[in-house]
Structure 1
């Protein structure tokens, strides 16, 4: 009986976690782009997965109550996130307007790696929706599982790891499609549109 209850909690956490992160957003779009280009994908995937794990643990551990009691924190994060998303949207549009830069390889460039790492951190930690979804929502759902809430958390953490590894390392399968600069232009324009839309949602308090 105990093992079946644990299994249900883990599977519920897995499905709930995937349901929250699978929808294409700024973070997923960025990971997808890095994966297609095969640029610094390991640190980007690790940062996104570990960040989700930390946020899930915080939510299940009760941080959600603290966040709701400090609305100023979410307000600061909202405006900082909107600013960061706007900057990255402009960068994506600039790439789309410069075809010669679209197919350039990042290789082992330290500057490129640092930029990728900082972008992954900013898109993850400066997005208030991350706290609302991962900390508050997952935390509240986990609490409904009582003593099994940490098994629920483990399931959600597994979901995050599986998802980011899938879109990060699996994106190389689309490399053939993106052998043409035109395809990169479309992708970067889509990424820019997603980031601008999310920035607008944050500013409007959506």
Structure 2
């Protein structure tokens, strides 16, 4: 891509759109933060998520995202599954906390590389929200720029995604000492569980409108 291409409106729009998703607190970002907090191979986890993001964006620009626009029923089903997944993730997180008493503390162990990468693969490829953002929305928005600049929109989005994946992992690592006591991780899980359930409710409300 030439220097002029890097400054094109398509690249800039893709980058800005990607930046807007950095602070969305979903299962994927939470997995990145936890990997950093527990020192569970954060770089490998971030790289796994980023490579998956490249694959999903490529699929979206390749036409899958546009296909969903012509099949609103399929799009609605995907959003409903997404809401269900978020609600399940939130309930599972809160249930894990409720199984421990107020005086009992659960020690967070560092996961093996295989377990850490597996967790990221699950919250990426089995999370409809990621498909909705990285494939459907990128595919639809890039389509408005025409075939010649679709790749530029995707490149801009992926540049912002790199900041998201590696930035959240590094943030987790930098905060790991502040969260040394397991009770703080327990409180973070409580916040995460509530946020995930609220996100599911908001998405479900949008489907019903």
**For the superposition of Structure 1 and Structure 2, which TM-score range results when normalised by the shorter chain?**
0.7 to 0.9
User: Which residue is 1:197 aligned to?
Assistant: 198
User: Which residue is 1:7 aligned to?
Assistant: 7
SS in 2 for 1:179: coil
User: Which residue is 2:23 aligned to?
Assistant: 22
SS in 2 for 1:61: helix
- C-alpha separation between the residues in 2 aligned to 1:51 and 1:95? 33
**Deviations, residues 29-75 of structure 1 (Å, cap 9, x unaligned):** 22112111111323321222122111111111111133342618626
User: Which residue is 2:93 aligned to?
Assistant: 89
**Deviations, residues 139-191 of structure 1 (Å, cap 9, x unaligned):** 22212222122022111112112211011123221123212333222211112
CA contact (8 A) 1:30 1:191 kept: no
In structure 1, the gaps of 5 or more residues are none
Shift of 1:4: 2.6
User: Which residue is 1:148 aligned to?
Assistant: 149
Listed as ranges, the matches of 1:172-183 within 5 Å are 172-183=173-184
The worse-fitting range, judged by mean Cα deviation, of 191-200 and 26-35 is 191-200
Give the structure with the larger helix fraction. Answer: 1
CA spacing shift, 1:86–1:175, aligned 2, 3 Å:
closer
In structure 2, the gaps of 5 or more residues are none
- C-alpha separation between the residues in 2 aligned to 1:50 and 1:91? 31
Query: RMSD across aligned C-alpha pairs, in angstroms?
Result: 3.0
Q: TM-score of the superposition, structure 1-length normalised? A: 0.79
CA contact (8 A) 2:83 2:203 kept: yes
Listed as ranges, the matches of 1:166-177 within 5 Å are 166-177=167-178
